[in-house]
Structure 1
Amino acid sequence: MSFTAALAAAGRPVVMEIKRQDADGRDLMGGRTVAEVVAGYEEAGAPCLSVVTGRWFGGTEDLLREVASLTDLPLLRKDFVTGRSQLARTRELGADAVLLTAKLLPSGVLARLTEQALELGLTPFVEVADEAEAGAVAHGSRCVVAVNNKDIATRERLPGDPERSTDLLPAVLRTGTRCAVSASGIADPGRAAALLDAGFDGLLIGTGLLRAQSPAHWCARLDAARSGGG
């Protein structure tokens, strides 16, 4: 199943993220192995996983390779991808989707990388932070379009603002995407539920889940909030 199809079919559409540290360099693994984190996410019913290979978060290609060897779930590679060779490498490492950051890419480059990703069988996971960036999305119906609630200009060190997602949802939907996602800065299950209720098709959550008592417990609280019980 493709990354987008897996997320669309999920009763709980949360892309669960694996990263070794937060933007300030603080450990997020808590003594767990990668295999233990993957198993915890699978137990919690993750439809797909995100793997951060970017150096800001202590990521490496080896992390993606290891996760791919441990699970059959569709994988998103999160890194700053700017060229076709990185797309090919992403596919080679076992990912099914690739992050394309609109803030970093001129519109023509973003369109070209989107087309190249699709040619390679990768789902473009296009991250936007304002209306202009959303307007630059190409082939929106074949992309996941995600609002980044944090700012890469500050290396994502400041708290996220999920209200950005709410404000940008109309612009995201105008891209034609069938999978609108709110990403980053979401720690509270109640806030997560509100974003899904507002019309988002999925969420991407990393630090909030990695710091939670357990992914399954966090997801139970999300379910309760969505049903009006929390």
Structure 2
Amino acid sequence: MNARFTEALLTAERPLIMEVKRRDAHGIDLIAGRTPADIVAAYEAAGAPCISVVTGRWFGGTPQLLADVARLTELPLLQKDFFTRREQLSAAVELGASAVLLTAALLPASAMRTMVTGALRAGLTPFVEITSESELAAVPHADECVIAVNNKDITARERDAGDIGRSLDLLPALRAAGTPCPVSASAIDSPQTARLLLDAGYRGLLVGTALLRTRDLNAWPTVAA
């Protein structure tokens, strides 16, 4: 297993997985005239330990976007898309990913085992997104995965406001499952919400829309302040 993605988060001063995506769940442009190079440079200056790149079509992404970001940075990259087949994992490696999103809501238990095992064998960190304890129970090799609570509803294409309480409620279960790096993802709309989650014990946060809209990345919290 390539643990570079996990280690980068666990040792980060500002443990935010900062995201590159072209539009939000409602189709609104988030790039606003910038280039991927502009965004990556700003993230690096703010101390991003990892970058998430959304290649899924819902958010205007393409595989080329990941390849472009990979040429711009040495930071570990998470590819966010709907991974359901093992051949997608080798493509992710070729594009420059260090981790891949595996969405529990889309994968039956047998498929989850196949995809987690395949990712680990390919040298990728499985970034497994769950919304309930039953989904968490189906995750194999949890001690080798980053497990993230999605605070939004994928069945509504993440167009809902989200529920940070889900992350707070599920954190003890994530710890018990053995993941070294519990993450809260989506609906983290302000530095104050991020602070709440870090203080609760999350080791990483995945933030997309709010960071792409912020005027001051350095206003977002660090683990020490």
Which TM-score tier does this pair reach, normalised by the shorter chain?
over 0.9
Taking structure 1 as the reference length, what is the TM-score of the superposition? Answer: 0.94
Contact 2:13/2:47 (8 A) holds in 1: no
Partner of 2:146: 144
- SS state at 1:172 partner: helix
Identity of aligned residues (%): 57
Partner of 1:3: 5
- SS state at 2:117 partner: helix
Quick one: which amino acid aligns to residue 84 of structure 2? T
> Which of residues 208, 211, 217 in structure 2 aligns to 1:209?
211
Q: Distance between the aligned counterparts of 1:175 and 1:111, measured in 2? A: 15
> Which of residues 159, 162, 178 in structure 2 aligns to 1:160?
162
| Alignment gaps of 5+ in structure 2 | none
Question: How many residue pairs are counted as aligned between the two chains?
Answer: 223
> How far is the alpha carbon of 1:226 from its aligned partner?
6.3
Contact 1:135/1:171 (8 A) holds in 2: no
Q: Distance between the aligned counterparts of 2:216 and 2:59, measured in 1? A: 21
Partner of 2:61: 59
1:41-190 correspondence to structure 2 within 5 Å? 41-190=43-192
Contact 1:40/1:214 (8 A) holds in 2: no
Contact 1:49/1:73 (8 A) holds in 2: yes
Contact 2:13/2:224 (8 A) holds in 1: no
Q: Distance between the aligned counterparts of 1:215 and 1:173, measured in 2? A: 29
- SS state at 1:22 partner: coil
- SS state at 1:16 partner: strand
- Deviation string 1:193-227 (CA, Å, 9 cap, x unpaired) is 110111111100000100111323x32xx24x963
Taking structure 2 as the reference length, what is the TM-score of the superposition? Answer: 0.96
Higher relative contact order (CA 8 A, sep 6+): 2
Q: Distance between the aligned counterparts of 1:153 and 1:92, measured in 2? A: 30
| Alignment gaps of 5+ in structure 1 | none
> How far is the alpha carbon of 1:188 from its aligned partner?
1.1
